[in-house]
Structure 1
């Protein structure tokens, strides 16, 4: 299977001022493109040559895992964003968040803390575990909840390339701003 760079569901300047056109062009057009291209080269002639992305993340290691994980992570991340985003989730996801954390505001605070406190590069994830329960987890580098048998629902990228052009070393500012562009309709489909 040959993987393709996803097409963004919005223009590269549509998420401004939260994420600049320049950041989108580097993050999507260069970083994600490199992961996709590297993954395609690495899986040639391996047992993963015709596997889907989730299978590769669940069963691989090393360079294949890193590039597959980052491809999956970024595909989920970029499709979680919208210039018309923000607000709060609705339906089943909202009910599950309120049941687990007591309120959306409590969830948002805990999720943001997970992103701020992750040492180095990685991801903060809202995921559904094997029992259908929501959890917030930190994944280092390019890992994804799929590697732990979970379903990823929402991921915040805390690699510096995701925010440094716009926020420099102010990771908390970036994470707090992301809530204004979350596409809860799309995210809710993953639950």
Structure 2
């Protein structure tokens, strides 16, 4: 079974109130709890030879939502807590500059995706087959992830990630998100 990770070290992070972070941690804990409940129920159904039933199918479908809700929040929280200064050296810098022309070009596209209307995630993926980088909009946790995509930078743009502190000013939240990126963590996720 999965255990919720402790991200309380993020409390006090510039631009994120304690109440917003604690609410977000509670939401994340719910994904972990529900993921575990579904895995237990599915295992019981498997043991009782109920695989193939409509009930099994619906639980299996729901697992994608809870699993990705858990995992995406972990990636999101783990790529926060830094100083936001993009490193000029390293593999990530090299890849972004080669493929987007500059960090500013890449950032402009990433922010533009984040400002799109709707709820979801903005994720910088690395194609595990080619090593190329691509920014994606992911609407729902369990829909739209690119096959063979390795998530490098994950930004939550569901309202719960910012509305307590920023209201409908998503642009201000995105600026604060960038000010707090832990680029060392993002760099570690690259498949070389």
Stretch moving more, 154-163 or 128-137? 128-137
Q: 8 Å contact 1:80–1:184 — kept in the other structure?
A: yes
Aligned partners of 2:11 and 2:21 also within 8 Å: yes
Q: Secondary structure at the match of 1:124?
A: strand
After superposition, the Cα gap between the structure-2 partners of 1:75 and 1:97, relative to the gap in structure 1 and judged at 3 Å, is: same
Structure 2: any 5+ residue segments left out of the alignment? 44-58
> How many residues are matched?
174
- 2:123 is matched with which residue? 125
When residues 147 and 43 of structure 1 are mapped into structure 2, their CA distance, relative to the original with a 3 A threshold, is farther
Contact 2:111–2:174 (CA under 8 A) maintained in structure 1:
yes
| CA RMSD in angstroms, aligned pairs only | 2.0
Superposition map of 1:54-73 within 5 A: 62-73=61-72
- Are residues 102 and 164 of structure 1, via their aligned partners in 2, closer, same or farther at CA, if it must alter by over 3 Å? same
SS of match in other structure, 1:148: coil
State the alpha-carbon separation in 2 of the partners of residues 176 and 31 from structure 1. Answer: 23
Q: Is residue 23–residue 162 contact of structure 1 (8 Å, CA) maintained in 2?
A: yes
TM-score computed with the length of structure 2 as normaliser: 0.84
Tell me how far apart the structure 2 counterparts of residues 120 and 61 of structure 1 sit (CA, whole Å).
Answer: 26
Query: Is the contact between residue 146 and residue 152 of structure 1 (CA under 8 Å) also seen in structure 2?
Result: no
Are the structure 2 counterparts of residues 8 and 43 from structure 1 closer, same or farther at C-alpha, using a change threshold of 3 Å? Answer: same
Residue 35 (structure 2) aligns with: 39
Which residue of the partner structure matches residue 95 of structure 1? 94
Runs of 4+ in 1 over 4 A off after TM superposition: 144-147
Give the TM-score normalised by the residue count of structure 1.
0.84
Q: Distance in 1 between matches of 2:63 and 2:80?
A: 26
Higher radius of gyration, 1 or 2: 2
1:99/1:107 Cα in 2 relative to 1: closer, same or farther (>3 Å)?
same
For residues 42 and 146 of structure 2, what CA distance do their matches in structure 1 show? Answer: 19
Take 2:16 and 2:27, find their aligned partners in 1: how far apart are those partners?
Answer: 15
Please give the secondary structure, in 1, of the residue aligned with 2:131. Answer: coil
Could you tell me which runs of 5 or more consecutive residues in structure 1 were left unpaired when the two chains were aligned.
48-59
SS across alignment from 1:46: helix
Contact in 2 for aligned 1:125/1:145 (Cα 8 Å): no
For the structure 1 residues 9 and 27, does the alpha-carbon distance in structure 2 shift closer, same or farther, using more than 3 Å as the test?
closer
Distance 1:147 1:123, change over 3 A: same
Which residue is equivalent to 1:22?
A: 19
Q: Counterpart of 2:112? A: 113
Residue 146 of structure 1: how far off its partner (Å):
5.8
